[in-house]
Each structure stands twice: as C-alpha cells, then as structure tokens.
Structure 1
C-alpha cells in the first residue's frame, strides 16, 4: 500500500529532485509534489511524497527533525483534505 507523507519546513531553494534523492535512500519514491505559489511560482516550503508503506514509515522515523539544506524537516503522514 502507498503512503502519502507531508514534508514541511523545506528550504525555498529545495527542488523535487533534491527531495526525491533524500527519500530514495529509504526505498522507491512513487511521487514528489513540491507545492508552489500560484502567482509567483516560488516554493511554499512544503511537499508531499508517496512511497510504499513500510519504506515511508522508515523515512518518517529517520527524517523527522533532521537538518536538510539548513532547515529542520517536519515529516509525518499526510492528512486528507477536509
């Protein structure tokens, strides 16, 4: 089963490729969606990453609170939109 994770507190210069590379050490990354401002096109500092469940759990446990590009990441399971 695929799990979707929220990745927050990203540096504004982080790219989808940077995030993919970071998470790929834990397994197969199905998708990375870096959220950008509609008007400016700049990163809003968060993304969503999809991975198989066991690999996602390992990534969340290992990466939450760690430093990436000078920022301490917040990584947890994404909540459905309401």
Structure 2
C-alpha cells in the first residue's frame, strides 16, 4: 500500500490518504519487487472553490503492508 501525507496543506487533510495498492501473496522466505507510480493528481486536493490544487510543500510517502508497517520517503514539491 502507498499512503500520502501532505504536511503543509492550506486546508485540513486526512493524516494519510491511500493512493495506490497491489496484492501479492508470498510464501515463507519469498520476496517480490512491486512497482507503484504516483503522479501530480495523487498529491492534490479539491479546494473551497472546487479547483483541484497541488500546493508546494513537504509530503510523506508511506509504503508497506499496513499503516503500522511502512517505510517512509519524504518528498518536496516546489
């Protein structure tokens, strides 16, 4: 699962938004490489004037099997 957190949005946002996911069943000792693509639409939100906005600022991208088991990547949009 891939969750996005907007750290500095001008409007209140959910703490983490699920932006992508895939399911992969693995047996003991197995591993797999999964690929996710995120675009500008994954970083934005609808503002009070019904415009879709992507604001400059810091984001956290959490990748993992659940909210409690993720790896964190930080990203900055300018």
- TM-score w.r.t. length of structure 2: 0.31
- TM-score w.r.t. length of structure 1: 0.30
Q: Which has the higher helix share?
A: 1
Query: Between Structure 1 and Structure 2, whose CA radius of gyration is higher?
Result: 2
Q: Which structure ranks higher in relative contact order (CA pairs < 8 Å, sequence separation ≥ 6)?
A: 1
